[in-house]
Structure 1
Amino acid sequence: MRRSFAPWADPTERPLIRFENVTKRFGDAVAVDRLSLDIFEREFFCLLGPSGCGKTTLMRMLAGFEQPSEGSITLADRDLAGVPPYRRPVNMMFQSYALFPHMNVERNIGFGLRQDGLPRAEIAARVDEMLRLVQLERLAKRYPSQLSGGQCQRVALARALAKRPKLLLLDEPLGALDKKLREETQFELMDLQHALGMTFVVVTHDQEEAMTMADRIAVMDHGRIVQVATPGEIYEQPKTRFIAEFVGDVNILEGRVRGQQDGLWQVESSSAHGPLTVDDADEVLQNGQAIAIAVRPEKMVIHRGEPPPDALNVLRGEVWDIGYLGDWTVYRIKLPSGAIVRVTRANRSRFVDNPIDWDEQVHVTFAPDAAVILAE
């Protein structure tokens, strides 16, 4: 179902949220720079980028805590200019969770409903529904100080969902959780969003978190959006060197174009033994043009001896470091040029006889279609 969900690919679909040429300045500093973006109903959308890239400022403008210096923001075709936060059909879940310490779980969840003046019976029914949804029925009478970090996160989520907003904004929602709980909660959020049919917009600097949860990701840098695409497209077809290096691990090989042969680009590189052969038909290049070639570590193959005679894209080097991660082993190979490439290999068996060791001379290869050309 998630795989078939792609309203952004339908030109007749109206976006739920539209940013049009939005700029936000704080004095002389430009936090968001002429940004345009569409987000669709029922989408799990992620704003991803390093600290200071403008992603939280963009979310705060959508929530109404900041106003654009220029441009417009619309929600369900309604211009949000001048609409205060409490008048917007939006709820925001903060990184700190911001739970009231003097209220127990059920009163925290029902706080916004009481502020809206809903009848007691409706508040009680809605709170019970939220408690079941986040599986905290047994903890309804506990206070935040008596809860774990993961439980506090669930309370904050239930409180945000209780008012049934059209849109839920999550600012680094899993940052306070440990690694294992964070991974479990990612899937819980996905299941919850799908079950409720709501639109989620999450801000994070964690690439793995964004790749796991989002239908689409907007990668931001210096107040601008560099690329908007699905997680698979972001990872496999990064548009710029910044995206290739920011999202996941990557090896960057520098070189110059020598031309084409049989429809494949030939690239001269000091890192390789012979020309590199790259299958990236989308690129239009000129002979002599300086380029960078991005290859993910899992798409490189390490050879203890000589590679097969028909192998393309052969690199030679010395094993500089080895990192055992349980399911994967990471090899850092130092090339004669001084560059270091990372190669990952799945540990498919429990024991390996005579494993590759430090200081060994090895060869590394990759297929022509494993590389992406990034024009300099």
Structure 2
Amino acid sequence: MSGTEGVGVSAPVKSQKAIGGVRRKFQPWNDPNAIPLIRFENVTKRFGDFVAVNDVSLDIHEREFFSLLGPSGCGKTTLMRMLAGFEEPTSGRITLGGKDLAGVPPYERPTNMMFQSYALFPHMTVADNIAFGLKMDGMPKAQIGERVAQMLKLVKLEQFSARKPHQLSGGQRQRVALARAVAKQPKVLLLDEPLGALDKKLREETQFELMDIQVELGITFVIVTHDQEEAMTMSDRIAVMDHGKLIQVATPGEIYEQPNSKYVADFIGNINIFEGKVAERAGSTVSIASAATGRTFTVESNERVSVGQTAYLAVRPEKMRISFDAPATDINALGGEVFDIGYLGDWTNYVVDIPGLDKRIRVSTANMSRFVERPISWEDKVHVSFAPDAGVLLTK
């Protein structure tokens, strides 16, 4: 992100060193000897009769970029507020660095929180906003000046140090809030929907900047978001929540490609789900009989299922093919009619009516050529198909 007032760019500004090598090797959750920095142990939070967080156990490791993801009311913000000390668990225990946080007030915890509103002091300059927490902690004036200079350089706002918040763009205010939050060098930075106030292009650009800064500082980031794309882009791991419970905790790739339930599959991105009964199992090949389509689908899966059991076949739109011509094989092939089309430039999304299905299916194709001899259009009769290894077999 440059210092310009929210001007978009075609790609993120290059950092001096790529972080891919660091993130690729960072997998402490797979190390049985790794000791988590943060532990939620059977944590429940009730507000009267309402259970906001329901018996959650979760480990977060040092230097991890961790996302709490879910719809409004799922408990993710309450979980973060308990970690910050703004709420106390009704039952269970939260530890940070091996220390039980029960009864520890927010200002004595090695955490800092960055809010969606940024909560900057309007009468203070950028530099004074960043310095505020350091002054409250009694840091010597010379050290404050040095730390503020470091933070301004980190977020690329050196030339804006004397400006007031109202003289900055939304993206610049967001960076001031980030600099103020990390200036005190907390062990954990808590971010509550930090990019929600930014426009789409600036938000996408800032996601990469946050990743770079997090790796450079070595601080554990825990972010609350309802934006699936945001969580998928930035996180080392994601916890998907619903009604106060953890549904799945895994890396972005595992969450997307190996969801453990219909809820996770449907919540993360677009997906087509076919319900049916297990008709046959031969090694890793499972046949699913779909009464709605009158077809039997084939999927490669190691999921434990038995003949006659209800099962769901989930297929991402980009893993499906669409064409005028029938595929060479009849396996996992359906005929239908194009109901709607969404052209996105790099991708085209097709919404297709399939006889017997109460929901239309989605097919996404990459636009790798500028010209197509006969583009698929509305109300065209088409064939959609997918390979046996393209889908995921789910039982719940």
Q: If the TM-score is normalised by the length of the shorter chain, which range does it land in? A: over 0.9
Match of 1:307 in 2: 327
Q: Confirm or deny that 1:344 pairs with 2:368.
A: no
The TM-score normalised by the length of structure 2 is 0.93
Q: Which amino acid aligns with 2:339?
A: W
How far apart, in 2, do the equivalents of 1:172 and 1:262 lie? 45
Asked whether the 8 Å contact 1:317–1:336 carries over to 2, the reply is: yes
Q: Residue 153 of structure 2 aligns to a residue in which SS?
A: helix
Residue among 72, 77, 81 paired with 1:60: 81
Residue of structure 1 equivalent to 2:35:
14
Alpha carbons of structure 1 residues 95 and 152: separation in structure 2 relative to 1, 3 Å? same
Tell me the equivalent position of 2:12.
Answer: none
* Kept after mapping to 1: 8 A contact 2:293/2:355: no
Post-superposition shift, 1:353? 2.0
Shift, 1:138, TM fit: 0.6
Q: Could you say what secondary structure the match of 2:25 adopts?
A: coil
Does residue 83 (structure 1) correspond to residue 104 (structure 2)? The answer is yes
| Farther off after superposition, 353-362 or 215-224 | 353-362
Q: Deviations over 1:167-214 (max 9, x none)?
A: 100000000000000000000000000111110000000000000000
Which of 371, 374, 378 pairs up with 1:354? 374
Tell me the amino acid that sits aligned with residue 226 of structure 2: H
1:209 to 230, 240, 244: 230
The one-letter amino acid paired with 1:238 is P
The 8 Å contact of residues 190 and 223 in structure 2, kept in 1 or not, is answered as yes
Q: Distance in 2 between matches of 1:213 and 1:271?
A: 39
- Contact 1:22/1:72 (8 A) holds in 2: yes
The residue aligned with 1:322 is 341
Task: Give the equivalent residue in structure 1 for 2:170.
Answer: 149
Contact kept in structure 2, 1:220 and 1:226, CA below 8 Å: yes
Q: What does residue 124 of structure 2 align with?
A: 103
Residue of structure 1 in register with 2:395 after alignment: 375
Aligned residues: 374
Farther off after superposition, 240-249 or 272-281: 272-281
Residue pairs, 1:1-376, within 5 angstroms: 1=21, 2-261=23-282, 263-272=284-293, 274-281=295-302, 283-308=303-328, 310-338=329-357, 339-376=359-396
Deviations 1:212-231 (A, max 9, x none): 00000000001010000000
Q: Return the alpha-carbon distance in structure 2 between the equivalents of residues 321 and 64 of structure 1.
A: 49
Distance 1:302 1:262 in 2: 29
Gaps in structure 2 of 5+ consecutive residues: 1-20
> 1:319 touches 1:359 (CA, 8 Å); kept in 2?
yes
Q: Is the 8 A contact 1:272 1:313 kept in 2?
A: no
Please name the residue that 2:6 is paired with.
none
* RMSD of aligned alpha carbons: 1.0
Amino acid aligned to 2:353: K
SS in 2 for 1:352: coil
| 1:212 partner SS | helix
**CA-CA distance at 1:360 after TM superposition:** 1.0
What code does the residue aligned with 2:351 have?
R
CA distance in structure 2 between the partners assigned to 1:39 and 1:236 by the alignment: 22
CA contact (8 A) 1:272 1:316 kept: no
The separation in 2 between residues aligned to 1:239 and 1:306, in whole angstroms, is: 32
List structure 1 runs of 4+ shifted beyond 3 angstroms: 270-274
2:17 corresponds to? none
- Percent identity of the aligned residues? 65
User: In the TM superposition, what is the alpha-carbon distance from 1:274 to its structure 2 partner?
Assistant: 3.4
Query: Deviation string for 1:72-106 (max 9, x for gaps)?
Result: 10000001011100001100001100000111100
- What secondary structure does 2:24 align onto? coil
The answer to which of 338-347 and 223-232 deviates more is 338-347
Separation (CA, whole Å) in 2 of partners of 1:22 and 1:341: 39
Task: Please tell me the residue identity of whatever aligns with 1:92.
Answer: M
CA offset at residue 273 of structure 1?
6.2
Please list the CA deviations of residues 42-92 of structure 1 after superposition, one character each: whole Å capped at 9, or x if unmatched: 000000000000000000000001111101100000010111000011000
Q: Deviations over 1:286-339 (max 9, x none)?
A: 21111111000000011211111x352011110111110110000011001143
Are the aligned partners of 1:323 and 1:331 in contact in 2 as well (CA < 8 Å)?
A: yes
Give the secondary structure class of the aligned counterpart of 1:42. coil
Give the distance between the partners of 1:117 and 1:153, measured in 2 at CA. 25
**Partners of 1:271 and 1:315 within 8 A in 2:** no
CA distance in 1, matches of 2:288, 2:104: 55
- Identify which range, 253-262 or 347-356, moves more after superposition: 253-262
